Each structure stands twice: as C-alpha cells, then as structure tokens.
Amino acid sequence: MSSAIKARGTKIKIGDGGTPETFTTIAEVTDISGPTDDTEEIDVTNHDSPAGTKEVIMGDRDLGTLTFSGNFIPTNATHDWLTGMVAVHKAGTKHNFQLVYPDVGNTTRAFQAYIKTLTVKAASKAVLSFDGTLRITGDDTWTA
C-alpha cells in the first residue's frame, strides 16, 4: 500500500526578520516547484586516470531556485507593494523562507532567499496571477 501524500496544503512562508521571527503564509499559491538542489562536479581527470576515463569529485551544493505561482491579490499583505512580495522583490533583500509540507508532522524546509523574479499576469480570460522565483542562498534545514 502506498504512503503517498497529497501536495494540497503545502505552504510557502516568509519571515518578518523579527526576534523571534514570525512567518506568514504567502496567500493564494497554486503551484510550487523546487528547490532544484544540485551539486557541481569538479573534473579531476588527469594523465593517470584509468583507461582514459573522466574522473570527478563533488563540489559545492547549490539549492538553486524555487518557483511558485498563484492568484495575484494586489491588496493582500503578502503580495502588495508595502510589505508583500512586490516590496521584497523591489528592495532586493534576503529573507528567511519556509516550505511547509502537508504531512502529519508538517515537515518544514527552511532557507534564505531573494525574490529573483516576480511576474504578474493579466490574461483577458483568466484571473490575475503571478509567477515568482526564489533564489536560495546558503544551506537549508529540515525539521518535522
């Protein structure tokens, strides 16, 4: 029997930088993808490499990006130009984020990131929506 977990209910939260820090769920998120967690390869191939085969060692991890999209509500405090995503993106400031999964323990992946891209879309036969990209910097931590 599968132990699969429905993704519905996954949350992206942004910290306010306070002590203690308060995290607020970014409203109306519909899709989340990432982080892309990748490790660079360092080529160490040399004249003594066996049978002329390439040799590598693993270098630094790069958590890369997390992309997300949702319904854009211009006056929502987590979206707006005063305190929300628009303001954070314009300021270019690093924030603490949490990705909270909907499992029994609410497993949480915490990291620091910049809002690298934020695109608002207004198609004539659709709702106002947004696409965003978080560029993660540094390591992440997992808690349950």
- State pLDDT tens for residues 123-136: 999 999 999 999 99
Residue keyed to tokens 């990748």: 38
Per-residue model confidence as pLDDT tens digits over 24-64 = 999 999 999 999 899 999 999 999 999 989 999 999 999 99
pLDDT tens-place string over residues 92-122: 999 999 999 999 999 999 999 999 999 999 9
Of 69, 60, 65, the C-alpha closest to 113 is: 65
C-alpha 131/C-alpha 141 separation (Å) is: 25
pTM equals 0.89
Please state, in angstroms and as integers, the Cα–Cα distance from residue 63 to each residue in 43, 107, 119, following that order.
21, 18, 22
* Whether residue 79 has pLDDT greater than 90: yes
Structure confidence at residue 52 (pLDDT): 86
